[in-house]
Structure 1
């Protein structure tokens, strides 16, 4: 028979319990501790109060309920108030957390910029396959905070009036978040403009493939903010039926690629959708209306827009059947910068009406297919092309779109050799193949057949885009992020990554060197993967001394390699984070130190945030971007070790290397 007991401060629970109803004071803020698997804690309406007093941020302490490393636990019907954190669960699975009230724990409306501590109502760290339902966590710092939490179902909760965020995801993937109220995530003083980056929802650092449905995210600093300050993108997330309106700044602010938005609202905010950096995005049947009227923070030169896809890349972008109307200035603003234009868009069957200036405003943009839209009643004109706009098609279209599919047939593309592409798996709306094809090969070449063979003269990254157009005028797009390797005859020596070893780890916190079967690897065989939390790591690989001697004797020699990287800390890689050495021994070597932020994706391409990048170290000739020096007096005919040194400013990071070659 389940025990009916009174809770007390510091209580360790190892069996099923039911609390006696009533109010209990824990003045030392030592909370409950769950220390068993498969048990049920039924709060039965019990109210437990820590020492925290509303209005005194220094009075909050402790955690109302804590557990680490246990599974299959149910906690229900419990009220926890006045703690630094209401409930915190770490390293668990199969939890059911339902119908608890975690309101009125720590909050600080006067805190400045920054995220602060992960405290507030409910903190879940490395918790998976659990149910969080029917809980409340209002008037706190963070409402629901997920860190490395996966495959959880979160439904019917109210986490609202939070002074930092109502919902936060950090490295948290494959969760279903449905039918919650997570509104009023805002921290702002009267007359303040930017709300200190507070937001109803914050998603960052590799939070992927979540389904976020039918939630109330209104009245935040932002409504939903997908942020990648550390360059570690969150992608593959699906949003449907959510309302993020009445935000102080942006109802939706998204910096990351590959997310899908269906039937969401972004109204009555400074901007409805701010999507610079959102390559590969899909927007279907969303509404962006009345933005810039109630409030108009951070206006661009074109004003406040319903949807603004500017100040960041936007390649391979699809918009269908959205309603963009009655915004203060532009309905839809598109553009990035000269040399990196917004590119390869489909804008199809949208209603873009009654905006104060232009329906669509474009600057630094190309390859836009604008068909079947109703664009009318816009004050300054329906479509405006500012500077550096090209290859825009405007026309009529009706009916369902085709489905584009771009396949790369060549397994390891190399420069100077034919690379094969195939779009014959594309289908029109009826399942047939009556399509028009248009390939952008990424090097300025356009091809218009279903199958293409193309030769790339130089190794490197190419942004390949496919557009297919049906007989009814509707279109679809697909793309390939193409990594072209050096031709075999260009390679003087390929370094064997299987012989790599860790030569130094400083301090000796954590560094693991493995082989990776990353499906997007660039070169032959397995890639080399380094996972570390140390401030300096050195990898060494043996090379023939004659390879080094030859490379240093030929003008224009390079060490070429492909990297893929992520770091959980913003600014975790300093500007001189990478050093290449050709070593005779530890005191005699030649080195090249990166003089530019090698691990800064903005210096490469948006795709570098989640894909491979080709890096070349000039060993002879012009040393742009690198500083060469010598240690000791190395014999250039005796340099038989390649050393790769990575510096970090703290935090966990991962770097993959592939196709390390002398050319």
Structure 2
């Protein structure tokens, strides 16, 4: 016998399995799930408010709840679950949730849950469950996870949002896979009238020790950043986001960084496409990371840019047609007192990569701001470095090695050593370069504010 269809009423508390009758229902106070083990189905039913306040569907302290097929429009949050276990939201459509004012607001990544921005789905202290197959486009934020774990977030479309597609704060051990998170971007107009396109919007954001998550096969095209990992809130509060896996994500066409991952340890970036952005990967103040098998092409400034990082393995990447392929450097700054041990870049293994048709394939140096210290221990081995203007360039470094690489058809010079840096050059193959090895005085012809 088919389940009886129910007409939802404003402020309704649901304590048993319920299927809503199709229709459009003005429910400014939404509905509340008031019992465990409840399934609510709403295919063909739409809840509307229009005030952009309150919550469409509220869960607090509930367990084993499923919400399926409902459409929700015009609340502060479409669905909000606090202190719940095993919650599943699937095939739900949310629109018109609350949004901060237009181009005068630069987003704050570290907003606590008490002051969270509006968005389609907000989970707070939810352990286990899924958000699956939902349509969460055209608002500010798609899915926000605070203090959550053990969730699967998959096959959702949270594109064309002015904030974030998927946001994690202090949320670990989740799987975020096969989501469409494109065009999560915004315009910010500075007080002087100039315009910045991104304002810390992104397809995916991680803050406050969001660790051991897996991000697989997500599309984050044209985001402010494609993916943004921020392990420090610039107020002295450290919260590295560690041991995450980012694999097979498409992060192209960002006006800022295809992937930014800062102040974090032990992350793996594998087979991502980080092309056609301002920077392919920006990973300052991070350590013990692996960057492998990625495609990084047509970056305006640098394919991989890392200041004050250490213990990286960068291998088997395709790094082509960038202004600079890889840049490792120091530039100082006000955060150094909070991050002792990050005074310089050191201990980088750069192996088996293809560097092709970049202005400069690799650039490692110590910036003028650093006093009494030098970047060190950069090893380039087994790389193919061809058709660049400059192959590799070093200045003010020590303990570095360029060995076993193939240099072919680099227009100006294969290896440029400025101000007699401590670099061992040996056992490389050179073919048809403008010059194989050159020692010269240091030239400051690079972008100093990079």
Task: Compute the TM-score of the two structures, normalised by the length of structure 1.
Answer: 0.55
| Match in the other structure for 2:363 | 361
Aligned position for 1:15: 16
Cα distance between partner residues in 2 of 1:232 and 1:95: 27
The equivalent of 1:333 in structure 2 is 327
Q: Alpha-carbon deviation of 1:287? A: 1.2
Alignment equivalent of 1:72, drawn from 61, 64, 74 = 64
Residue of structure 1 equivalent to 2:147: 148
| Cα contact 1:76–1:99 (8 A) shared by 2 | yes
Contact 1:107-1:162 within 8 A present in 2 as well: no
Q: Structure 1 7/111 Cα, relative in aligned 2: closer, same or farther at 3 Å?
A: farther
Cα deviation digits, residues 558-595 of structure 1 (max 9, x gap): xxxxxxxxxxxxxxxxxxxxxxxxxxxxxxxxxxxxxx
User: What is the rounded CA distance, in whole Å, between the counterparts of 1:391 and 1:346 in structure 2?
Assistant: 12
Separation (CA, whole Å) in 1 of partners of 2:119 and 2:147: 18
Could you say which residue in structure 2 is the equivalent of 1:263?
Answer: 271
5 Å-filtered alignment, 1:73-222, equals 73-108=65-100, 109-115=102-108, 117-188=116-187, 192-222=195-225
Query: What is the match of residue 309 of structure 1?
Result: 306
- Give the Å deviation of 1:147: 0.3
- Confirm or deny that 1:272 pairs with 2:314: no
Partner of 1:251: 258
**2: distance between equivalents of 1:122 and 1:270?**
31
SS in 1 for 2:259: strand
Task: Give the corresponding residue for 2:393.
Answer: 384
Alpha-carbon separation, structure 1, partners of 2:298 and 2:214: 27
Q: Unpaired runs of 5+ in structure 1? A: 53-59, 293-303, 399-663
- Greater gyration radius: 1
State whether residues 200 and 220 of structure 1, in contact with CA within 8 Å, keep that contact through their aligned partners in structure 2: yes
Q: Verify the 8 A CA contact 2:188 2:199 in the aligned structure 1.
A: no
Task: Let me know the Cα RMSD of the aligned residues.
Answer: 1.7
In the alignment, structure 1 residue 234 sits paired with structure 2 residue 235: no
Name the CA distance, whole Å, in 2 between partners of 1:127 and 1:144: 13
Report the equivalent of 1:661: none
Q: Is the 8 A contact 1:104 1:137 kept in 2?
A: no
1:324 equivalenced with 2:319 (yes/no): yes
1:24 match? 25
**Deviations 1:82-104 (CA, angstroms, capped at 9, x unpaired):** 11111101111111210000122
Distance 2:75 2:88 in 1: 21
The answer to whether the 8 Å contact 1:104/1:138 transfers is no
| Local SS of the residue matching 2:199 | helix
Shift of 1:189: 5.2
> Per-residue deviation at 1:368?
1.4
Does the Cα contact within 8 Å between 1:3 and 1:16 map onto a contact in 2?
no
The CA deviation at 1:118 is 2.8
Equivalents in 1 of 2:147, 2:319: separation in Å? 36
The residue number in structure 2 matching 1:33 is 32
- Cα distance per residue 1:407-428 (max 9 Å; x no partner): xxxxxxxxxxxxxxxxxxxxxx
Rounded to whole Å, the distance in 1 between the matches of 2:203 and 2:255 is: 11
SS state of the match for residue 33, structure 1? strand
> C-alpha distance in 1, partners of 2:276/2:358?
13
**Which residue number in structure 1 is paired with residue 429 of structure 2?**
none
Deviations 1:138-188 (A, max 9, x none): 111111000000010111111111111111100000001110011211111
> Which ranges of structure 2 fall in alignment gaps of 5 or more residues?
333-341, 367-374, 407-450
> 1:248 Cα deviation (Å)?
1.5
| Aligned counterparts of 1:73 and 1:183: Cα–Cα separation in 2 | 29
Q: 2:98–2:117: 8 Å Cα contact kept in structure 1?
A: no
Shift of 1:134: 0.3
Give 1:39 shift.
0.9
CA distance in 1, matches of 2:195, 2:119: 24
> What are the superposed Cα offsets for residues 259-294 of structure 1, whole Å, 9 maximum, x if unpaired?
1100001111110101111211100101111111xx
Secondary structure of the residue that 2:168 maps to in structure 1? strand
Question: Is the CA contact (8 Å cut-off) linking 2:186 and 2:197 kept in structure 1?
Answer: no
CA distance in 2, matches of 1:47, 1:63: 14
Query: Following the alignment from structure 1 to structure 2, what is the Cα–Cα distance between the partners of residues 372 and 337?
Result: 29
Distance of 2:276 and 2:242 partners within structure 1: 26
Structure 2 CA distance, aligned partners of 1:288 and 1:260? 16
What displacement does 1:194 show?
4.7
C-alpha separation in 1, matches of 2:86 and 2:119: 22
1:346 deviates by 0.6
Matched, 1:350 2:353: yes
SS at match of 2:195: coil
Normalized against structure 2, the TM-score is what? 0.80
Are 2:365 and 1:373 equivalent residues in the alignment? no
Other structure's SS at 1:66 match: strand
